[in-house]
Amino acid sequence: MSIEIFLRHRFADFPLDVQFHAGAGVTALFGPSGAGKTSIVNAIAGLVHPREGRIVVNDRVVLDTANDIDLPAHARRIACVFQDSRLFPHMDVQTNLLFGWRRSQTRASQDEIERIIAMLGLAHLLTRKSAKLSGGEKSRVALGRALLSSPVLLLLDEPLAALDEARKNEILPYLERLRDEVPMLYVSHSVDEVLRLANDVVLLRDGRVVGTGSVFQFACGEIGSAAASGGVIEARIAAHRDDGLSELSFDGGAIFVARVNRAIGSVLRIRIRAEDVMLAREEPRAISANNVLPAEILEIREASPSQADIVLRCGSAHFAARITRASLSRLALAPGQQVFAIIKSVTIDPQI
């Protein structure tokens, strides 16, 4: 899967001038309000017609202003999910779900319809009017409607922005399931959502791309001028121990966490906060922390007048520790040094 995007347009309040590529999985468009994220989504969907542009999805050109190609929105096979869901309030859930399916050039089979309904947990809601749904339920119906239009690309424009934390945590596992279903461009200004969902990140500011890279690079502040938030590591459950811990292995070692209710061999995404990592020049002994990993210092960045971010490499994983500048000076840390990262806690995203 490949997506090629070049757009140049002047809006009333700012110019848009972006070029980037995206692949399979979830590519997050991340940046502050007014960075141009929604304008990019609208142009890809065919809702805005840029002065100059070229959009190619899976070798299929949907926009090329230089060659007078501009496919209408309904012919692009690109589906959108917005933060307000945009369901038809007078229709029940089933009718809303099938709205896009009826207009699709490539209709999903009945088995596929039933699979998507089951995957999103909508079977018990089919006869309910959309006006009677909770915010989380509306978001799931909007996702289902988009998927049943058989898109080659799914655009999600801050689909969780209008939800409270409980409803967000209800929807996020479904979005994780969709990572392998259809490529997604996911608009957000939430670091937490990006770290949990994205494979790759495009950083935007003032209508321009200021950095691109993997979510692992984004998490430790290696792309653009993004501040390090810690790190993201993909690990496999190696064992469930008798002492109540699960062992999660990756090529840099093992991380031990409270027992995870998943099968051995399952792959999980671990998130580490920079503030939850301590550093030692020598291997610490007789301490309560379960997770001490050998690492190499790659880079040192100023995080604030009193703090520094230390970017570390552990196997192929990169993550950051945030320490005081006083500790940095006392330990005499420098790039290339071998240290020990003491990880006080990690976050494992809940799964359905």
Q: Are strands 307-314 and 317-324 parallel, antiparallel or unpaired?
A: antiparallel
Domain shared by 176 and 310, yes or no: no
Which pair of structure tokens corresponds to residue 261?
């209710």
- Say how many domains are in the chain: 2
Candidates 26, 28, 30; CA nearest to 176 is 26
Which pair of structure tokens corresponds to residue 29?
């468009």
Distances (CA, A) of 177 to 79, 119, 247, 352: 17, 8, 23, 9
Contact of 103 with 130, CB cutoff 8 Å: no
159 phi and psi, to 5 degrees? -70, -15
Domain shared by 140 and 275, yes or no: no
pLDDT exceeds 50 at position 118: yes
Which pair of structure tokens corresponds to residue 121?
């947990």
Q: Provide the 8-state DSSP code for 227.
A: P
CATH number at residue 149: 3.40.50.300
pLDDT of residue 342: 97
Domain shared by 121 and 97, yes or no: yes
Domain shared by 156 and 128, yes or no: yes
Which pair of structure tokens corresponds to residue 222?
């290696």
Task: Name the domain boundary from 219, 249, 265.
Answer: 219
pLDDT exceeds 80 at position 211: yes
Containing domain of residue 306, as a range? 230-348
Residue 224 included in any domain: no
Residue 16 included in any domain: yes
Domain shared by 106 and 252, yes or no: no
Task: Name the domain boundary from 174, 190, 219.
Answer: 219
Confidence class for position 350, pLDDT limits 50, 70, 90: low
Domain shared by 70 and 162, yes or no: yes
Q: Could you tell me which residues come within 8 angstroms of residue 307 by beta carbon, excluding any fewer than 6 positions away?
A: 322, 323, 324, 325
Domain shared by 158 and 241, yes or no: no
Vertex 28 angle, CA 251 and 122, to 5°: 95
What is the spatial distance between Cα 331 and Cα 92, in angstroms, rounded to a whole number? 64
Task: Name the domain boundary from 219, 251, 266.
Answer: 219
- CA contacts within 13 A on the Cβ side of 64: 10
Q: Could you tell me which residues come within 8 angstroms of residue 197 by beta carbon, excluding any fewer than 6 positions away?
A: 26, 28, 172, 175, 176, 179, 186
Domain shared by 40 and 184, yes or no: yes
Domain shared by 262 and 198, yes or no: no
CATH number at residue 343: 2.40.50.100
Domain shared by 131 and 273, yes or no: no
Domain shared by 62 and 115, yes or no: yes
pLDDT exceeds 90 at position 166: no
Residue-averaged pLDDT of the chain: 91
CA 290 to chain centre: 28
pLDDT of residue 160: 86
CA 11 to chain centre: 27
User: Which tens digit of pLDDT belongs to each residue from 41-82?
Assistant: 999 999 999 999 999 999 999 999 999 999 999 899 999 998
Domain shared by 20 and 125, yes or no: yes
Residue 168 included in any domain: yes
Residue 179 included in any domain: yes
pLDDT of residue 352: 41
Please tell me the pTM assigned to this model. 0.87
Report, as an integer, the average pLDDT of 282-292.
93
Residue 225 included in any domain: no
Residue 156 included in any domain: yes
Higher confidence at residue 4 or residue 101? 4
